[in-house]
């Protein structure tokens, strides 16, 4: 048994003093509040304010190599994508494994205990499979293990370069020969990795309706149901995507997904930025989760999505750092409220507890971990101790910490019962900045 005593802790939306969390080594077995720190060798004291672990529900780990190298000059999402393709062309299983381990360690330092990796870089140049066609997927699962966090590998179907357009250039690395070949490869991954590695679960993803024909959506829906796995899809990130889908199918991307039975409580729509009122109603009726990626949507000039309307329609909100221009779940969470203020001219749409819920319990649920994201019995023991005495957080009402703290204020992190960050240092990768520098330099060479 391992136990953690929290000076104060966030328990389902309220802060309690003196919280003792006992574990069986992985999961929480008891939670008691109002206690002083026991004098016991088995108990680790966590100072200040302890939050549940964050879920980063949308990641493309290799995009971290673009931070600070593509953020100047003119252009839009499509010019950025050309730069991103340059990196995708150069990665191999070893270099991607090294980069991903460093990126996931950066996430651990930010209090992220589970990542949803939307993984579409599958094959060698030209689309030729590796000896094990899931070699890069295994490298990503191994990278999460090295960083000490859990992963849902959302293996992504990517078949076309546009509606009715073949793959070109580096896109061949993303594509399987058809949807059934993709589904067979993912099923092999799920039956191997998911059973062998308790920190990993396998999910399915449709890259977008630009990259997957409607028959492929049917295959993905069936596979997710068969595997009882989450299904993620990029949805209406760009107006050009909506225009292409409308022209080809005579309906919006949301309507097209709804018609294929793809909008269910197991589905997460990523971005959902450019929607009609009818789209919002369909997503709400389906109980579909929405993964907002506010810092990426800013960075790529995507726009601000209708978060209050989606929440009002019944969609759960999750959060992702996506392109990793920033890895800071406090920043993603408060951006939902702050960007909405810019959109609406109104303050106070999303309360701090709602924003923390999106970054913890609803994010984990979106990734297929309903057993994580709360400090409660039976949940994975994920604990994030936040410094309330830094220059950013001093004098702050702890209940409003989400509007003041940054990733740099995360001091200690416990993931699935294991201490992975102590005093702001990662215990498995001692110099995460150096690991990032080395891995990023290698892919730009």
By C-beta, is 324 or 412 nearer to Zn ion? Answer: 324
Stretch that binds Zn ion, among 2-10, 43-51, 76-84, 316-324 (CB under 5 A): 316-324
Which positions from 322 through 381 interact with Zn ion, judged by CB under 5 A? 322
Minimal distance in Å, beta carbon 60 to Zn ion?
6
Give min distance, CB of 236 to Zn ion, in A: 13
48, 155, 279, 322: which is the annotated catalytic residue? 322
Q: Contact at 8 Å (CB) between 53 and 114?
A: yes
Contact region for Zn ion (CB under 5 A) — 3-11, 22-30, 151-159, 320-328? 320-328
Is 262:231 a contact under the CB 8 Å cutoff?
A: yes
**Cβ closer to Zn ion: 322 or 339?**
322
- Of 154 and 386, which has the nearer Cβ to Zn ion? 154
From the candidates 58, 63, 271, 412, give the one annotated as an active-site residue: 271
DSSP sequence for 360-399: THHHHHHTT-TT-SSSSTTSB--EEEE-SSSTTTTT--GG
Which residue is listed with tokens 């729509």?
Answer: 269
* Count of residues engaged in binding Zn ion, rule: CB under 5 A: 1
- How would you label 309-327 residue by residue, b for 16+ Cβ within 10 Å and e otherwise? bbbebebbbbbbbbbbbbb
Q: Which two tokens stand for residue 81?
A: 């994508």
Stretch that binds Zn ion, among 33-41, 178-186, 315-323, 367-375 (CB under 5 A): 315-323
**Closer CB to Zn ion, 322 or 328, in the complex:** 322
- CA 270 distance to own-chain centroid: 10
Handedness of CA 413, 428, 201, 31 (dihedral sign): negative
Query: How many other C-beta atoms are found inside a 10 Å radius of the C-beta of residue 133?
Result: 17
Q: How far is the CB of 118 from Zn ion (least distance, A)?
A: 5
339 is catalytic: no
We find the least distance from the C-beta atom of residue 211 to Zn ion, in angstroms, to be: 12
Does the annotation mark 60 as catalytic? no
List residues bridging with 410 in a β-sheet. 386
Smallest gap from Cβ 51 to Zn ion, in A, equals 25
Residue 82 burial (10 A CB sphere; 0-12, 13-18, 19+):
exposed
| Residue sitting closest to Zn ion (CB) | 322
Instruction: CB nearer to Zn ion: give 152 or 393.
Output: 152
Tell me the C-alpha distance between 216 and 213, whole Å: 5
Provide the annotated active-site residues.
271, 322
Q: Which residues bind Zn ion (CB under 5 A)?
A: 322
């Amino acid at each position: 048994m391992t136990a953690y005593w929290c000076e104060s802790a966030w328990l389902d939306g309220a802060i309690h003093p003196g919280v003792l969390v006992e574990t069986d080594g992985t999961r929480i077995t008891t939670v008691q509040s109002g206690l002083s720190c026991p004098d016991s060798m088995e108990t680790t004291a966590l100072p200040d304010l302890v939050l549940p672990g964050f879920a980063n529900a949308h990641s493309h780990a290799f995009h971290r190599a673009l931070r600070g190298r593509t953020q100047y000059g003119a252009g839009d999402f499509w010019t950025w994508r050309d730069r991103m393709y340059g990196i995708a062309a150069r990665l191999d299983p070893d270099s991607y494994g090294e980069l991903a381990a460093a990126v996931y360690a950066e996430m651990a330092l930010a209090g992220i205990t589970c990542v949803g990796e939307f993984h579409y870089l599958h094959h060698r140049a030209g689309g030729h499979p590796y000896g094990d066609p899931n070699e890069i997927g295994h490298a990503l699962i191994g990278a999460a293990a090295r960083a000490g966090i859990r992963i849902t590998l959302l293996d992504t179907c990517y078949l076309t370069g546009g509606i009715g357009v073949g793959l070109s250039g580096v896109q061949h690395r993303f594509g399987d020969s058809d949807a059934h070949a993709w589904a067979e490869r993912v099923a092999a991954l799920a039956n191997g990795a998911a059973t062998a590695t308790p920190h990993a679960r396998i999910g399915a993803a449709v890259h977008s309706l630009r990259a997957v024909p409607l028959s492929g959506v049917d295959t993905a829906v069936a596979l997710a149901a068969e595997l009882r796995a989450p299904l993620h899809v990029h949805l209406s990130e760009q107006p050009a995507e909506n225009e292409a889908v409308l022209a080809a199918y005579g309906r919006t991307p949301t309507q097209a997904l709804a018609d294929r039975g793809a909008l269910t409580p197991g589905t997460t729509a990523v971005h959902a930025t450019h929607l009609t009122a009818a789209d919002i109603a369909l997503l709400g009726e389906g109980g579909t989760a929405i993964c907002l990626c506010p810092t990426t949507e800013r960075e790529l000039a995507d726009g601000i999505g209708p978060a209050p309307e989606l929440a009002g329609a019944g969609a759960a909100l999750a959060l992702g750092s996506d392109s990793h221009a920033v890895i800071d779940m406090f920043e993603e969470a408060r951006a939902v409220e702050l960007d909405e203020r810019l959109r609406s001219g109104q303050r106070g749409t999303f309360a701090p507890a709602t924003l923390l819920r999106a970054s913890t319990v609803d994010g984990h649920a979106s990734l297929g971990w309903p057993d994580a994201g709360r400090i409660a019995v039976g949940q994975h023991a994920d604990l994030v101790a936040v410094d309330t005495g830094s220059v950013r957080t001093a004098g702050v009402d702890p209940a409003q910490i989400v509007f003041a703290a940054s990733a740099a204020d995360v001091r200690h992190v416990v993931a699935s019962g294991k201490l992975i960050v102590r005093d702001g240092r990662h215990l498995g990768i001692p110099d995460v900045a150096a690991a990032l520098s080395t891995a990023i330099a290698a892919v730009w060479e």
